[in-house]
Amino acid sequence: MELVEQEKIVLVGVTDIFFYTKIRDAFKPAGYGLKRVKSPDDILEKSKAHAPTAIVLNMNDPGLDAATLLKTAKSETALNRVPVLAFANHEEIDTWRQAKELGIDKIVSRNEFSARTLALLQEVTQPRPA
């Protein structure tokens, strides 16, 4: 009997369809499936249904309250250990500070995220030393 590897799910908080497609195109060949999240309730529902490997958030997305979404994720037992990779405009220092205070594992500029999308995801999902 052949063992089939289960697809690793990444919850993605990005409302820009073109940027979402870019993320999907980077992750899918590496065996990741994406589930879009648009609200705190949405992230809770999808995390219970899919046991995500990671969460990716656009901290500057006007159609997404990323801070509230992140607070919800970090307060949920099933999600508080899931690594979070976020990106934001590099000049928005308050957003970066807030992201770190909320427990984001890694935040990078939008340009770095675009250039190193898969590598950054793999970096935050590596097992951490105990």
pTM over 0.85: yes
Task: Determine what percent of the chain is predicted with pLDDT higher than 90.
Answer: 50
How many distinct structural domains can be found in the chain?
1
Decide if 100 is inside a domain. Answer: yes
Decide if 1 is inside a domain. Answer: no
Q: What residues form DSSP beta bridges with 33?
A: 9
Task: Check whether 4 has a pLDDT greater than 50.
Answer: no
CA separation, residue 112 to residues 45, 65, 80, 81 (Å): 30, 22, 25, 24
Decide if 109 is inside a domain. Answer: yes
Give the model's pLDDT for residue 3: 45
Task: Check whether 73 has a pLDDT greater than 60.
Answer: yes
Decide if 38 is inside a domain. Answer: yes
Give the model's pLDDT for residue 1: 43
Mean of pLDDT values over 38-66: 90
- Structure confidence by residue, pLDDT tens digits, 49-62: 888 999 999 999 98
Domain of 115, CATH number, reads 3.40.50.2300
> What sign does the dihedral 44-49-53-54 (CA atoms) show?
negative
Residue type, position 78, single letter = A
